[in-house]
C-alpha cells in the first residue's frame, strides 16, 4: 500500500501534469464527463472518482497507475484540506461571516425551519464581463432540508 499516494499527493501530481501539458480544467472535465466545477474538486481530492473517471483523467494527464488508483480513494473533505487563511478563500469565509445572518433570515422566512444542503449541492462559477472590472459569479445551489418533527 505504501506505493499508493494520498489524495493530497495525487492532487499535486494532477496540478503538475496540467501545467506541464498546458491543459485547462474544461478539457479535463470533458474527459471525466462531468461539470468543470465537480471535476476540478474531484481531481483536487474533494470528491470520489469512479475507476472509469480516474482512468480517463489519468490518460489525458499522463498520470502513473498508482496516482490513478489514488484518485478512487475516499476524498479529504476535512478542514485541514483547505487553507481558509489564504486571501482568496478568506474572502469567502468573510462573506459567510457578514451575510450568514441574512441568509438564515431569508431562508427561514421563505422555507421555514431547516438548512441548505451542502451535500445535495451544486457549485457553478463563471466570469461576467463588466466595463468597471469583470466579476466572478459563484452560484451555490442546495436543496432545502426541513428539520424533522416527530
Looking at the Cβ atoms of 30 and 34, the one nearer to its own copies is: 34
The catalytic residue among 94, 104, 105, 135 is 94
**Min separation Cβ 100 and its own copies, Å:** 4
Give catalytic status of residue 82 as yes or no.
Answer: no
The catalytic residue among 2, 91, 110, 129 is 91
Compute the Cα dihedral for 79, 81, 85, 91 and give only its sign: negative
The catalytic residue among 104, 117, 122, 135 is 117
* C-alpha span between 32 and 29 (Å, rounded): 5
**Min separation Cβ 29 and its own copies, Å:** 10
Give catalytic status of residue 94 as yes or no.
Answer: yes
**Min separation Cβ 128 and its own copies, Å:** 7
Task: Give the residue carrying C-alpha cell 499535486.
Answer: 12
- Return the number of other C-beta atoms located less than 10 Å from residue 32's C-beta: 24
User: Residue 125 forms beta bridges with which residues?
Assistant: 138
Q: What does the block give as the cell for 105?
A: 433570515
* C-alpha span between 51 and 6 (Å, rounded): 16
Give catalytic status of residue 13 as yes or no.
Answer: no
* Positions marked active-site: 91, 94, 117
Amino acid at each position: 500500500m505504501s506505493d499508493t499516494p494520498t489524495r493530497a499527493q495525487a492532487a499535486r501530481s494532477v496540478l503538475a501534469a496540467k501545467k506541464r501539458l498546458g491543459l485547462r480544467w474544461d478539457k479535463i472535465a470533458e474527459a471525466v464527463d462531468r461539470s468543470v466545477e465537480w471535476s476540478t474538486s474531484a481531481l483536487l481530492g474533494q470528491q470520489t472518482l469512479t475507476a472509469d473517471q480516474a482512468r480517463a483523467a489519468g490518460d489525458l494527464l499522463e498520470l502513473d497507475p498508482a496516482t490513478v488508483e489514488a484518485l478512487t480513494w475516499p476524498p479529504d473533505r476535512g478542514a485541514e484540506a483547505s487553507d481558509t487563511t489564504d486571501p482568496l478563500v478568506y474572502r469567502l469565509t468573510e462573506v459567510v461571516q457578514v451575510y450568514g445572518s441574512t441568509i438564515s433570515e431569508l431562508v427561514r422566512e421563505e422555507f421555514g425551519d431547516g438548512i441548505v444542503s451542502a451535500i445535495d449541492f451544486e457549485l457553478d462559477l463563471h466570469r461576467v464581463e463588466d466595463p468597471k472590472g469583470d466579476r466572478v459569479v459563484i452560484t451555490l445551489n442546495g436543496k432545502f432540508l426541513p428539520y424533522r418533527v416527530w
